[in-house]
Homo-oligomer: A and B are copies of this chain.
Amino acid sequence: MRIEILCTGDEVLTGKIVNSNFSYISQKLEDFGLTVVWGTTVGDDREKLLEAFRLAAGRADAVIVNGGLGPTVDDLSQEMAARAAGVELVLSEEWLEKMESYFQRRSRIMPPNNRKQAMLPSTAEILDNPVGTACGFALDIGGARFFFTPGVPRELRRMLEEQIIPRLLARSGIQAVIHLKRFHSYGIGESRADTLLAGIEELVPDGAMKLGFRAHYPQLETKITIRGTDMDDVLRKLEPVTAEVRARLGNFIVSEDDRTLEGEVLGGLVAAGGTLALAETFTGGQVAARFSPQPGAERVFVRGVAARSVAGVAAAVGLAGEPDGVEIARALAAASGASHAMAVLVDLDEGSDRIDLGGTIRIAIVAGDRVETREARVLGGREWVRLGATEMGLDCLRRFLLGLPVAERIDFEKV
């Protein structure tokens, strides 16, 4: 099946926003064995939209259109879809009611211009949007099936996964089952992971396995796609691969699939019947902000303290002077009553931000009599050091809770 992605909107065309929706859609489809062969970007312009719809209809079997479903005058997708398909725009009572109840639940009156979002081409099949007022829809233009999606990322994501991918898989006629297994690691770069996993495809016969990576500092995602006749076949093929990836990437794997590093830390604390307190400098609350939003964290996260300096954090836990991380963590645990306390303290280099600006990260974790510390130097500018310190803090806590070595050297630190 030939799939085209058609992104609309002046913001995207003029580069005011980076088009991350395109890469999200394309990658998500790849994960399901669906391949995008063409990408088009046009602005909020009737003539260009019509031309783009016509071209896509002529060369693709399925077209995913992103953007242009909002309530304002520059949102043209429904109008141009109707014109390209040669049908009328009609009011969808179904969607109008949905929108009205959406506003009602929020105790707001629906502004009159939102009514425009319920005007759909007469042949449109509604694609539900449970998290917004933009109505997704599908219809035929020429020989291709067009799927219209909202530009708001969280609305697009829900619609793509729940509404569009199942329809594309059904249309593609592929009987095969495709499964994506993901490993999230922290501490190894893409090229080292590639080397460590060399030849792993040979564990699965007939080229039914594909290995890929996606680096988003500080984490690396390793993606294994397995194709099989049914889910049993897939799981049978996947088993030795999973075991081998775990063995080769070892302690650097922080989580798998939809699980997260912070989720593993929360899970470890819950399993231990523990509670957590955090002290930070420079990261300024980011370690706490990663951990605390998780459902269930409210029963575990007792206290977070952030300050601009070690002396500031010390004062906040009732100490004077410049104590070390272990002393701070101990005082924090005592003051807050938490079973586990961690201090993440960063000494940032002096001077203006630059690519080789570095920081020294000092981590201390205390739980009763057990104490672990970690020190590392990271280069790469202010934001790089901040992201690295937040990740390293959470990873050290994960290792502490799982009984793994806390001070294992990573690729991103300077010896």
Contacts and interface: CB of A to CB of B under 8 A. Distances in A.
Contact of A383 (B72, B213, B289, B293): B293
A286 B285 contact: yes
Given A288-B284, A288-B285, A38 B42 contact: yes
A204 interface: no
A43 B37 contact: yes
Given A41-B22, A285-B285, A288-B285, A17 B295 contact: no
Contacts of A17: 23, 214
Given A194-B113, A304-B307, A316-B305, A379 B27 contact: no
A270 interface: no
Given A295-B353, A298-B308, A307-B303, A14 B27 contact: yes
Interface in A380-394: 380, 382-383, 386
A77 interface: no
A407 B107 CA distance: 19
A287 B293 CA distance: 12
- Copies of this chain present in the complex amount to 2
A291 B284 contact: yes
A13 interface: yes
Determine chain A's interface SS by DSSP, over half rule.
Answer: mixed
Given A191-B71, A379-B106, A302 B295 contact: no
Interface in A93-107: 105-107
Given A107-B414, A212-B11, A307-B302, A355 B284 contact: no
A255 interface: no
B299 A285 contact: no
Interface string A377-415: 001101100100000000000000000000000011011
Nearest to A304: B306
Interface in A52-80: 55, 59, 70-74
Interface in A161-217: 180, 189-192, 194-195, 210, 212-215
Interface of A: 5, 7, 10-20, 22-28, 30, 35-43, 45, 48, 51, 55, 59, 70-74, 105-108, 111, 113-114, 130-131, 152, 180, 189-192, 194-195, 210, 212-215, 223, 282-289, 291-293, 295, 297-309, 312, 315-316, 335-336, 353, 355-356, 379-380, 382-383, 386, 411-412, 414-415
